[in-house]
Structures are given as C-alpha cells and as structure tokens.
Amino acid sequence: MIYYNHGEHTFHEYIQYKRSGYKSISGNSFLKTLFDKGNYGEFLTFSYLERLPEYKRLLTNIYVPKEDGTTTEIDLVMIEETGVYVFESKNYSGWIFGDEKSKYWTQTLQNKQKNHFFNPIWQNKAHIKVLKNIFDVDESVFKSYIVFSERCKLKKINVTSPTVKVINRQDLTRTIKKDISNSPKLLTKNKIDEIYSALERFALAGEDIKRKHIESIKNIKITVCHLLSPFYFFISLFLFWKIL
C-alpha cells in the first residue's frame, strides 16, 4: 500500500486533491483518499480524466443494483460523446500476467510470491452488462478500460476485443485521447447528461449500501470455498454415486 505520510509528497497530493472534483463526486475525504489503496488509485485515474478537454461527465464509486437484489460497485465511469467509458482500477505492484479468455490473472511480486485475482476484463464486462440494463443504449457505446498502477509492469497481457484496453495509468491520457479521436460521436450532450442523471442516484452511497455490498461478496467467497473444499467434494461425489 502506498502511504505518503510527510514532506512535499503529502503537500503535492493535497493540492492536487483540493483542485480536483474528486471529493464532491466521490464523497471521500483527503485522508480516506490518501490512505486507502483503492481510493487513491481511483483518484489518480479520475485526475487524468477530468483534465481531458472534451465535454464529459464523470462518476466514481457507484453502487448499481443487479437483478438479484445485490449491487455491483463500479470504480469510474466517463460519459463522453464517443461512448460510455467504464474503468476498473487496479492499484497493484509487481508483474501482471493475464489473458482475456482466462478466469484468473497472476500478480508476481519481487519476492517471487504469486497472487491470483479474478479476470478484470470479465469483472468490467459484468459492470457494463448491469449499466446496459439501466439506460437504453446500444452495447457498442461501451468501452472497457482496465487501468493498472504505474508501480506494476504488464508483463504478458493478451487482449483481442477492440473495445477493451488494459494499460498502466501513465498511458491513460495518450490512450484515451487516441481512442476518442478515432471513434465516431455516438452521444449528444443532452444524451450524456441524461445518462449521467440516470447513474448519479447510485453515487455517494450510504454506509448501509456499502456494508451490504461487502457482505454479499463475502458470502460468495464463503460459498465458493465450501464448494471447493475436500469435504464438500467427497460429499458431492458420494451423492452422485448414490443417484447412479
């Protein structure tokens, strides 16, 4: 986790935070932004996006309801004339290995420790699916951006979908400017504002919504762990044998 506890780094980040619109949109205080790895990564990505000259609307940390009654948390959304850009922020370090078609990706740290995490492209695809159900726009309007920290190296990443980008944060401005310039205008300013209004009600979520969201994630993890445990495996095998 990155901590800027003192000196000019803290002052620089504070000035950047005060000048940004991140606080009013996210509701996160300076300390909550600085000392939370996820929030800090989102703040840096937000800072790049808000400096783009094109007409746009930005939202961060939106908790969108799903059909099953739970919520999905989306890190960042930028609504611009060339589309709805959906961002998944990964403030990771180390080497990153991943394939668009693989369920899990790998993070390798300097001490050779390997951590596996769910495919962020699939994660963002699920976010886009939920967003598509909220407002009536064609799926081609959506663009998926997976943004990793400057502190990691994208060692071997395989992506084939033209609307998906997996990049380091320092390449975000260049990449998205090129994407915007090479894309047709699909949304009017009125449509941008309309989509923003539809999503704005899911921003600045209360603590109760956040708590329920975290609980639902924990329940999914517990269920998966049970299903993968040797005990449940042999029970399932026994029941299957009894049926036969």
Whether 178 and 73 have beta carbons less than 8 Å apart is answered as no
Alpha helices in 20-119 (DSSP H): 22-26, 30-34, 37-50
Along the 244 residues of the chain, how does pLDDT read in single tens digits? 333 344 456 888 889 999 999 988 988 999 998 888 889 999 999 999 999 999 999 999 999 888 777 888 999 999 999 999 999 999 999 999 999 999 999 999 999 999 999 999 999 999 999 998 888 788 899 999 999 999 999 999 999 999 999 999 999 999 999 999 999 999 999 999 999 999 998 987 545 544 454 455 444 444 444 444 555 445 444 443 433 3
Neighbour count for residue 97 (Cβ, 10 Å) = 17
Indicate yes or no: pTM above 0.85.
no
- What are the helix and strand counts (H, E) for the chain? 9, 9
Q: What is the distance between the terminal CA atoms of the chain, rounded to a whole angstrom? A: 52
> Running DSSP on this structure, what letter comes out for residue 213?
H
241's tokens: 């044998």
